[in-house]
Amino acid sequence: MKTRRWLAVLITVLLAVSLAGQIWAAAANDTLDLNQDCTLTVNPCDKKAQGNEEMAADLAGADIVVDLYKVADWKVEGTLYGFTPVEPFDLKISQDITNEGWAELAQDAAGTVLMPPKEPDKRADSGASVTLKPGVYLLVAHKRGDTDFVKTIKDKEGKSRIVTQVKTGTSVYTFNPELVALPSKMPGENGINTANPGEWRYNLEVNLKPERDDLKGKLEIIKTLKTYETSAPATFVFQIDWEENGEHRSNVQTITFTEPGQRSLKVENLPVGAEVTVKEVYSGATYVLITDPEQTVTIKADEIVQVSFENDYDETHNNGGAITNKFTYDDGWKVEKLVDNTGEYDAIE
C-alpha cells in the first residue's frame, strides 16, 4: 500500500525547534514588551505549498479547531531572556536544550492536559486569529466536537508519543502537539535568537504539517451452512478484490464447517471508499450456493461492512466422500491446502 505522509512539524519561525535559541539569550536593542498582546493564527496545513492543494481542501472542510494551553511565561533577568513554567505544568527548560528536548517537552505538556483532555485556556478556529499574552503555548489541533481525538501511537523504533487525529472522508490526519513562543523573531544567520536584529513579531501565523494516511475500514464475510451431510470438513473459499492507490488488490480467505450453523471472518485495513467485490469461488462438490455468488460493497469508516453467503446440501451430488483440499486460480492463486480463516485478518498479509 502506498501511503502519503508529511513530517509532523511546524514550519514557520515560532516552532518548538525555534525556542532552543531563545533560552537565556542576550537581549537585542529591540526591547521585548511583555505588556503588549500578541495574535496567533494557526493553519492546519500550508495551503500555499506545492502539492498541498488536495490536503488543504480536505482539511478546510473538517472544521478543525486549535486548543491553546499556556505552559510558560517569559522571564527577564537583566539583559537575559528565558522562560518559567506555569501551573499545572512543570517543564524544566534548560539553557542548553536541544530540538529533540523541545519535542519531549511538548509531549510532557500534552500528557498533562490531554490524558484525559482538559479545557484549554483558549480555543481558536483554524485560520482565525486569537489574542494571547506573551509566553509559551501548547498547540493541540482536533475536530470540533470530537471527544476521542487523543491517541497514543508508536514510531518505527517502538517509542510512544501522544498525538491527535482528525478523520475526513477517506483520510486520517495525525498532528503532534507543538510548542510556540509569543512573541518571536525572524531567524538570523545562526537561527532563532532573541539577539537577532529586527523587530519582535507580536502577530504571528503558523502552518501545521500533519501526517496523512488512508482511512481504513473492515469487511465481514458471514457464511451460513444450512445442512451438514458429510463426514469430512466443509471448506468454502472467498476471493476478495478491490482497488487501492490505482492498483488492483486481491486476497483469498476460507471458512470451514464441521457442523451446520453460521461462521464469519473479518478482513481489516481496507481503504475507506473502496468498492470491494467478494466472490465465493469454491464450495466443494457436496454443497450448493443459494445466494448470489458475488457481492460488491463500499468500505465505510467506523463501520463493519457485511456480505452474507448461504449454502445447503446438494442432494444431486449425494456421493459422500471428502472435499479435495486444493484450489487453483488461473491468475496466480494456488492453495494446496485449504485452511480455515475464521477470525480477523489484514487485507494484505
The tally of CA atoms less than 13 A away on the side-chain side of residue 334 is 3
How far apart, in whole angstroms, are the C-alpha atoms of residue 17 and residue 101? 9
Q: Which residue has the higher pLDDT, 25 or 118?
A: 118
pLDDT-derived band at 77, boundaries 50, 70, 90: confident
SS3 150: strand
Q: Is the pLDDT of residue 235 over 60?
A: yes
332-336 long-range Cβ contacts below 8 angstroms, 24+ apart: 333/239, 333/250, 333/252, 335/237, 335/252, 335/254
Q: Is the pLDDT of residue 124 over 70?
A: yes
Catalogue the E-assigned strands of 122-196. 122-125, 129-132, 135-143, 150-154, 160-167, 171-175, 178-182
How far apart, in whole angstroms, are the C-alpha atoms of residue 212 and residue 220? 26
pLDDT-derived band at 171, boundaries 50, 70, 90: very high
SS3 315: helix
What are residue 314's phi and psi, to 5 degrees?
-95, 100
pLDDT at 8: 29
Q: Are 96 and 31 in contact (CB under 8 A)?
A: no
Q: Is the pLDDT of residue 319 over 60?
A: no
SS3 242: strand
What are residue 279's phi and psi, to 5 degrees?
-130, 130
How far apart, in whole angstroms, are the C-alpha atoms of residue 249 and residue 71? 48
What are 31's three cell numbers?
526591547
pLDDT-derived band at 125, boundaries 50, 70, 90: very high
DSSP 316: G
Q: Which residue has the cell 468498492?
A: 275
Q: Are 258 and 228 in contact (CB under 8 A)?
A: yes
DSSP 49: S
Q: Which residue has the higher pLDDT, 162 or 5?
A: 162
Q: Is the pLDDT of residue 292 over 50?
A: yes
